[in-house]
Structure 1
Amino acid sequence: MIIIGHRFIPSFLQEHGSFYHIPNIEAIKNTPPNSYIFLEYSEENLDIIEHMRNNSISFCLKVEDITQIIYATNLGASFILVDRDLAKTAQDLANNYLFDAKILVNIDKDEDIEEFALLGIDGILYTDAIIKINS
Structure 2
Amino acid sequence: MLLFGHRFIKSEKFYHVSDIDAIIQTPPASIIYLDFEEKNLDIIEYLSQNSIKFALKVQNVTELIYASALGAGYIHVEQKLAKTAQKIAENYLFDAKILVHIENEEEIEEMALLGIDGVVFTEAIVKIAS
TM range, smaller chain: over 0.9
Aligned equivalents of 2:122 and 2:59: distance in 1? 17
**Moved runs in structure 1, 4+ residues, more than 4 A?**
none
Residue 9 of structure 1 is matched in structure 2 by 9
5+ long unaligned stretches in structure 1: none
Separation in 1, partners of 2:128, 2:120: 18
Report how far residue 23 of structure 1 moved: 1.0
2:91 counterpart of 1:96: yes
Total equivalences in the alignment: 130
* Higher normalized helix content (fraction of residues): 1
1:118 and 2:113 matched: yes
Identity of aligned residues (%): 58
2-structure distance, mates of 1:130, 1:35: 11
CA drift at 1:44: 0.4
Measure the CA separation in 1 of the matches of 2:4 and 2:36. 20
- The equivalences for 1:32-71 within 5 A come to 32-71=27-66
Return the offset for 1:27.
Answer: 0.4
The two structures have a TM-score, normalised by structure 1, of: 0.95
Provide the aligned C-alpha RMSD in A.
0.6
